[in-house]
Each structure stands twice: as C-alpha cells, then as structure tokens.
Amino acid sequence: MERLQKFLSECGVASRRRSEELILSGKVTVNGVVVKTLGTKVSDNDLVSVNGKVVKRDIKEYYLLYKPRGVISSVKDEKNRKTVVDLVHTSSRIYPIGRLDYDTTGIILLTNDGELSNLLMHPKSNVSKEYIAKVKGFFSKDDALLLSKGVLLNGKKTKPALFKLKKYDKKSDTSYVKVVISEGRNHQVKDMFSFLGYNVLKLKREKYAFLDLSGLKSGEYRKLSLKEVRQLYSLK
C-alpha cells in the first residue's frame, strides 16, 4: 500500500505535487469512488482513474547508455535532433537521469523510476562522476590543485573535486585530464576549465558512481541488474 499521489507519480501521470492537485480537484477515482483526501493509500489491485482514464504503474526499467556525440540528453527535441531516448528500444516512457551536453560523450542512465531519479539528482546527493577531458594547452599542477579545491561559478563555489593530468601531447599541445566531481551543475566541467582559460576540445564521462562503460561501444546500451539498481538506491 502507498499514498495515492505517489502512485500517480510512479504511473507517470504527473509530479507528486501536481498529483495532489488532481486529487483535491476531484479528478481522481479509486474503485469508482472520487477521492479528495490526500494520504489515501492504494495498491496495484485498486482501480485508479484520472479524468475517467485508468492508470497503471509502469514496470520499472533501468538502462545504461554510451551516449554518442551529437545526441540530446532529453526525451524530445524541438529541433527534431536525435535524443538519448531514441537510442533505447523500449515501449516504456523513460527519461535520462541528469544530462550530458550535445557534444559530450559517455555514460548516462535512463529510467522510468522517478524516485531513483530524484534521489540521484537531489542537490544533496554526492554521486561521483568521472570524466576524461581533452583541453588545449598544458594543464599545470597548480591549476589542477586550484580546480580541485573549488572555484566560484555563478556566485557559488564548486565542491572539492579531482583534477589530474593524465597525458600531455606536445605535438598537438593538448592535455588529457581526469576529472571527478560530485555535483551536477550544467556545463560544470567545461565551466571550471574555462574559469582558468582552458578550452575543452572533447569531454567523455567514463564513470557514474560505480558504473562504467565496460563492454559497450558508442550508441550501445544495456539494462542495469537488480543488484546495480539496489546499489544506486543505497548511494547517499
């Protein structure tokens, strides 16, 4: 048994807050009876309808996708560009957890589990994300230390992170830098490099928490195991 508004949210009807509004406005019925009381509990055996249409809980699905360059991290795109959802073959209404920029490659998770998505994207979440960045110029130890301690972006200091030079190509004057952050601000990695004048030529997310891209090629995906899903739920 669970609260009606949570059930509606998990069925993909609306957010919990919007679901509460639907209940209070008398648009939700349970077993044919209008319910206007928040906190009413239901189970999968109850017949729940919104505006006369029966709603059912989606079977939870979890995917790990190796996002290619030139793909949008959203469900739909107004410019009709290919999205991460287009790459995963399922009839369920899935959506990405967080996002990667259009030109950024690497690991991204997709699901229809709103609870897990909210948990992983919550501002207080400390889920680690590991990247390899290719930047123009030589990336110095002093700059690595400065960025690792945190810098001020849009009036807010970034959390402690890891920036470490992996390789410097003298011929092309480019550095390959390992980056590990625990935040999810838009364009954060690029903005941190830009703060010190570095231009990011390529960016790839290689790890998300304990998950990596092992066995996958660009554009490929796999389902997460039950064990992996449980591990994601245990992250703080």
183-232: per-residue pLDDT in tens? 988 999 999 999 999 999 999 999 999 999 999 999 999 999 999 999 99
Write down the pLDDT at residue 205: 98
Q: Which of 58, 77, 101, 212 is catalytic?
A: 101
pLDDT band at 178 (very low <50, low <70, confident <90, very high): very high
Q: Which two tokens stand for residue 98?
A: 């967080």
Of residues 183, 182, 200, the one with CA closest to residue 191: 200
Q: How far apart are CA 16 and CA 61, in angstroms?
A: 20
Write down the pLDDT at residue 57: 80
Write down the pLDDT at residue 236: 66
Q: How far apart are CA 23 and CA 37, in angstroms?
A: 7
Q: Are 196 and 146 in contact (CB under 8 A)?
A: yes
pLDDT band at 161 (very low <50, low <70, confident <90, very high): very high
Q: Are 188 and 36 in contact (CB under 8 A)?
A: no
Question: With respect to CATH, is domain 2-54 assigned 1.20.1250.20?
Answer: no
pLDDT tens digits for range 99-115:
999 999 999 999 998 88
Q: How far apart are CA 124 and CA 122, in angstroms?
A: 5
| DSSP run (H or E) holding 30 | strand 28-30
Q: How far apart are CA 225 and CA 223, in angstroms?
A: 6
**Quick one: fold of 62-124+212-234?**
Alpha-Beta Plaits (3.30.70)
Is residue 101 flagged as an active site residue? yes
Residue 58 has pLDDT above 80, yes or no: no
- Mean pLDDT, to the nearest integer, of 42-48? 92
Domain locations in the chain?
Answer: 2-54, 62-124+212-234, 129-208
**Residue 131 main-chain phi, psi, to 5 deg:** -125, 160
Look-up of token digits 């960025």: 147
Write down the pLDDT at residue 29: 96
Lowest mean per-residue pLDDT among 35-44, 156-165, 199-208: 35-44
Q: How far apart are CA 155 and CA 27, in angstroms?
A: 43
Write down the pLDDT at residue 78: 87
pLDDT band at 124 (very low <50, low <70, confident <90, very high): confident
**Quick one: fold of 129-208?**
Alpha-Beta Plaits (3.30.70)
Within this chain, domains 2-54 and 129-208 share the same CATH topology: no
Write down the pLDDT at residue 167: 97
